[in-house]
Amino acid sequence: MTSTVAQTGVAGNAVPSVGRTYQVRTYGCQMNVHDSERLAGLLEAAGYRRADDGADADVVVFNTCAVRENADNKLYGNLSHLAPRKRGNPDMQIAVGGCLAQKDRDTILRKAPWVDVVFGTHNIGSLPTLLDRARHNNVAQIEIAEALQQFPSTLPSARESAYAAWVSISVGCNNTCTFCIVPALRGKEVDRSPDDILAEVKTLAQAGVLEVTLLGQNVNAYGVSFADPTVARNRGAFAELLRACGRIDGLERVRFTSPHPAEFTDDVIDAMAQTPNVCPALHMPLQSGSDRVLRAMRRSYRADRYLGIIERVRAAMPHAAITTDLIVGFPGETEEDFAATLDVVRQARFAAAFTFQYSKRPGTPAAELAEQLPKAVVQERYDRLIELQEQISLDENRAQIGQTVELLVATGEGRKDNLTARMSGRARDGRLVHFTADRETPARPGDIVTATVTDAAPHYLIADAGILTHRRTRAGDMHEAGQRPNGVGLGMPGVGQPTTTAGGCR
């Protein structure tokens, strides 16, 4: 544990936390989004209340990401914007947590001395105490734990949605990809027991949640390193977990992110295909189509193996939508290497791809490689990749025209929904669909509708022929009433402490 203080002042002028408002600003992956729900739950349990939209909050919490190089600039830019507010209202507090806080530690206070609290990825449960301590002593608090202290799912939660929920099945990662800083910041993989996960999912379903997304840095490695040392390693645990989720009453959709191609096995494909509520959607990071670059990245698979997985998934689920992550401009990438990536993209026919220009991250092996590519070269290749993938996405989406899709109505996913009188929802395969709403009986977020696809764009589908069916749900009732399944936080009381022997999905 690293715990230091700075920024001295006059102690004893504490302002009570009860009634103070908060805002959590989240950057990065789904794990961060879920961590932010926990942070919000902790603050509400401590007496804070969420600030109204557009209102200045008494406490602003930044939950940061460190994967991309511009994460640093984004954080410090936003902190600078808050500096005048802090000077005008010394009782306001600013906290910085997450991966960038774990990485930068003392640097944050050196660059932004008006920050009150810095906390890491392993001790998010400490936030209310650190805020109280900083406020009481008028001294900034830094607390960075070097290892996981408490599994996040044991903490209270203020969930964002009445109809969809994140469920963490593991934290950390045992891979050593040379471009990735996450293992250094999140630590080694620690898995929850199946009993704990299923108890949380069942509680969510009983509260009306229709869809859960199982989260982990490498979900298909689940079962390798249970936090409870009495639970045996089980390579088939993830497939068993998917099948067990299929037996939970009221749970209509199960998703997961993200798997790793090196450990993606056929038992998971079978479980996906044979479990009705597991969605026909797979996000499988490729990163590069060049075997030489994959080797330099320490990605322990090659292009042929990756394409073989895609082929087997489509054989089992012909209509599955497959998405991916791609990195352009990894150090030493040649034009031949990039051409290999384009070739795999053409063969895989991804529904969508999250494409990134390589970002040099201090502390990663790739940052020390000599052949860092010029920005102009990376940009030109990136533009070509985007052009190819956009055309493939458009073609794949146009193939959906005329199909009937089942949509879980969502909140605010279409930027132009108000202008077009449309609403938005997600199909079972994860595609975003904008549909014409019924003005007399409008669907609510959390309801289920069916509609026919009438048009397509690279990033979404359109269904303008009217709603075919509309099922009002308890999730829709809860959303309409402004209710959320808050307080769901089941799991181990602490890492390494024995729990009930797992058996829920064996």
For residue 415, give every residue at least 6 positions away whose Cβ sits within 8 Å of its Cβ, in sequence order, or none. Answer: none
Tabulate helix, strand, coil % of the chain (nearest 5).
35, 20, 45
CA angle centred on 155, ends 504 and 35, rounded to 5°: 100
Residue type, position 11, single letter: A
Tokens in use for 473?
A: 């749900």
Paired strand residues for 254: 212, 278
pLDDT in tens, 407-457: 999 987 766 666 667 899 999 999 999 999 887 888 999 999 999 999 999
pLDDT at 505 over 90: no
> Within a 10 A sphere around the Cβ of 352, how many other Cβ atoms?
21
pTM given for the model:
0.84
* pLDDT band, very low/low/confident/very high, at 147 (cuts 50, 70, 90): low
pLDDT value, residue 54:
86
pLDDT in tens, 62-104: 998 877 767 777 888 999 999 999 999 989 999 999 888 888 8
Q: How far apart are the C-alpha atoms of 380 and 449, rounded to whole Å?
A: 42
pLDDT at 7 over 80: no
Paired strand residues for 142: 4, 118
pLDDT in tens, 332-379: 999 999 999 999 999 999 999 999 999 888 888 999 998 999 999 999
The b-or-e profile of 415-438 (16+ CB within 10 A means b, else e) is eeeeeeebbbbbbbbbbbbbbbbe
Average pLDDT over residues 94-122: 89
pLDDT at 491 over 50: no
Tokens in use for 366?
A: 């790739």
279 is in an annotated binding site: no
Average pLDDT over residues 46-55: 91
SS3 sequence of 316-366: HCCCCEEEEEEEECCCCCCHHHHHHHHHHHHHHCCCEEEEEECCCCCCCHH
pLDDT in tens, 156-195: 777 889 999 999 999 888 888 999 887 777 788 889 989 9
Q: What percent of the chain is modeled with pLDDT above 90?
A: 64
Q: How far apart are the C-alpha atoms of 244 and 248, rounded to whole Å?
A: 7
65 is in an annotated binding site: yes
Tokens in use for 360?
A: 């040099």
